[in-house]
Amino acid sequence: MMMINRQTCGVIIAAAAILSFNPVISGGEDFHFTFPEATIDEIQAAFAENKLTSRQLVEFYITQIENLNPRLKSVLEVNPDARNQADEADLARKRRSRDDQSLRSLGKLHGVPVLLKDTIATKDKLNTTAGSYALVGSVVGRDATVVERLRDAGAVILGKASLTEWYSFRSLGKIPNGWCARGGQAQNPYLPSGDPCGSSSGSAISVAANMVAVSLGSETHGSILCPADHNSVVGFKPTVGLTSRAGVIPVLPIHDTIGPISRTVSDAVYLLDLIVGFDPRDYEATSEAAKFIPVGGYKQFLNRDGLKGKRLGVVRNLFNSRNVSTIIPTFEHHLNTLRKSGATIVDNLEISNVDVISNPSKNGELTAMLAGFKTSVNDYLKDLVSSPVRSLADIIAFNQKNSVLENIKEYGQDTFISSEKTCGFGEKERKAVELMEKLSRDGIEKLMIENKLDAIVTPGTHSISVLGIGGYPGITVPAGYDSNGMPFGLCFGGLKGTEPKLIEVAYAFEQATLVRKQPPLSKSIELTQENLNQSI
């Protein structure tokens, strides 16, 4: 916090407050800005009042990262240009208000620090590596499209978030959630022994622990929804194609999607508004999904009464046989809240073939992924300006050669090797895709149409497979903590393009419950002498 200049900013920062992990800016009688849990609206209000600078925000988050990352290991790299970008944003804001008072704000993300999953390419000093040493030093041709949009909007690229290495696709089931060679084992900030889930682990943990304002993750099968659920943050998995995947390391393009992770539904929606839309670099998927984008964007659906008149389905056979007994009472309580807020709960529904749908080896998903990954990752690697590896075969060879660094002995690279053995999207893969489409048609599509549902609601992560194999959207909202303190969320899912309804129900549920708590980290932060000096 050393960068804060009391004279020029006119803000008072109590050093004692910083040390107790609760820094507050008070300027004037009724102005109050608290760094931890700051929302985008609060940040923009503080900017507009000249009570906060983007630079101060960046300094706060970098201090948080310095303090917490040795334990949480959720950030791989901090952008050496983050402070400069913040200064530029501050300058632009100053100019704007001097030149034309009538102009409203510069946009919701202007000056706001964003962390990117380490699979989202940036053409700057940051590496883009999927957590693996194999891609360190590779040079991308340009920013991912979602990053271009962030930069155009004046957002600050704070750095790269850790993840389960290669989306865990190096060795499915063997690589622990949140582990990558470059970052080590990331930790759940609520429960050190708790599963951080993956693969967007770092994106979720960092937001949960107030190491950044918002982040981007990606999902093919649960990779946004699950870590968000397990780390008590909001995760928004958009309909496939709503957000461009150009410049993002792929898994299976027919299912890959990029989405926000944040502490509140409105923050997720502001970020979504910025990154959606047609992109010629991801032509087919984005041109198809662009028709779903409402005129005026998504923030108009942040409606406190959003649950009124909604029909929400509870598909009991998605989770009845699972070990959910500890969260079921809270779930039932939340169902009552949803009813009281005006929704109709259509209970005791069943989707047919749930066992097949939930099993990637049976539903066609794994077959499609094995072939799709090889083809698409080879395309990504070929596009790089320069890179130590140019193909999946090169990565496998790199891992063999650097087996200690990549912990090949323990975690293996079985899935990579299986993927390398495939040769493109043939008859078998087309059949696999057809099977997923049929399971979706006979499953969630039929259920939602027959019951006239607006969304389905699930405790925890049990709708991930249903949403994954159909490219459907979902949003998870913090819903509680079990007796050990382990978080869980409520997940709302729906058919393609139903983001407006999902936002209405998720926002109304969030506002009716406000369950999210900060992780219990403050006591365990050990400020080193160096940090102390910096803080004063």
Ligand X SMILES: *[C@@H]1O[C@H](CO)[C@@H](O)[C@H](O)[C@H]1NC(C)=O
Characterize the bridge pairing of strands 474-481 and 234-237: antiparallel
Q: Which residues pair with 313 in a beta bridge?
A: 346, 456
Q: How far is the CB of 15 from ligand X (least distance, A)?
A: 29
Query: Over the range 4-29, which residues count as b (16 or more CB within 10 Å of their CB) and which as e?
Result: beeeebebebeeebbbebebebbbee
Characterize the bridge pairing of strands 75-78 and 156-161: antiparallel
Spatial contact of 214 and 260, defined as CB atoms under 8 Å apart = yes
Residues 73-112 that bind ligand X (CB under 6 A): 77, 80
Q: Order of strands, edge to edge, in the sheet holding 156-161?
A: 75-78, 156-161, 113-117, 214-219, 257-262, 234-237, 474-481, 487-493, 455-459, 311-315, 344-349
- Of the pair 137, 141, the CB lying nearest ligand X is at 137
| Residues 6+ away with beta carbon under 8 Å from 283 | none
Residue 128 sits in the site that holds ligand X (CB under 6 A)? no
How many residues make contact with ligand X (CB under 6 A)? 9
Residues 321-340 that bind ligand X (CB under 6 A): 323, 326
End-to-end CA distance of the chain: 7
Instruction: Spot the catalytic one: 223, 232, 387, 419.
Output: 223
Residues 137-196 that bind ligand X (CB under 6 A): 137
Residue 127 sits in the site that holds ligand X (CB under 6 A)? yes
- Of the pair 125, 291, the CB lying nearest ligand X is at 125
List the structure tokens of 69: 């990352």
Angle at 308 between CA 305 and CA 309, to 5 degrees: 155
Q: Which stretch binds ligand X (CB under 6 A): 90-98, 120-128, 264-272, 417-425?
A: 120-128
User: Can 341 be counted among the known catalytic residues?
Assistant: no
Q: Which listed residue (6, 98, 104, 125) binds ligand X by CB under 6 A?
A: 125
3-state secondary structure of 85: helix
Residue 387 sits in the site that holds ligand X (CB under 6 A)? no
| Residues 6+ away with beta carbon under 8 Å from 328 | 459
Q: How far is the CB of 189 from ligand X (least distance, A)?
A: 19
Q: Which listed residue (12, 14, 136, 536) binds ligand X by CB under 6 A?
A: 136
Residue 309 sits in the site that holds ligand X (CB under 6 A)? no
Instruction: Spot the catalytic one: 199, 203, 206, 218.
Output: 199
- Of the pair 104, 125, the CB lying nearest ligand X is at 125
Q: How far is the CB of 323 from ligand X (least distance, A)?
A: 4
Residue 130 sits in the site that holds ligand X (CB under 6 A)? no
3-state secondary structure of 257: strand
- Of the pair 12, 136, the CB lying nearest ligand X is at 136
Spatial contact of 215 and 262, defined as CB atoms under 8 Å apart = yes
Instruction: Spot the catalytic one: 73, 108, 117, 160.
Output: 117
Q: Which listed residue (126, 186, 211, 447) binds ligand X by CB under 6 A?
A: 126
Spatial contact of 326 and 293, defined as CB atoms under 8 Å apart = no
3-state secondary structure of 190: coil
Spatial contact of 229 and 487, defined as CB atoms under 8 Å apart = yes
Residues 255-284 that bind ligand X (CB under 6 A): none
Q: Which stretch binds ligand X (CB under 6 A): 22-30, 122-130, 360-368, 372-380?
A: 122-130
Q: Which residues pair with 215 in a beta bridge?
A: 115, 261
List the structure tokens of 311: 């029909």
Q: How far is the CB of 381 from ligand X (least distance, A)?
A: 17
Q: Which stretch binds ligand X (CB under 6 A): 108-116, 124-132, 185-193, 206-214?
A: 124-132
Q: Which stretch binds ligand X (CB under 6 A): 125-133, 245-253, 363-371, 508-516?
A: 125-133
Spatial contact of 178 and 72, defined as CB atoms under 8 Å apart = no
User: Can 237 be counted among the known catalytic residues?
Assistant: no
User: Can 123 be counted among the known catalytic residues?
Assistant: no
Residue 115 sits in the site that holds ligand X (CB under 6 A)? no
Q: How far is the CB of 102 from ligand X (least distance, A)?
A: 40
Contacting residues toward ligand X, per CB under 6 A: 77, 80, 125-127, 136-137, 323, 326
Catalytic residues: 117, 199, 223
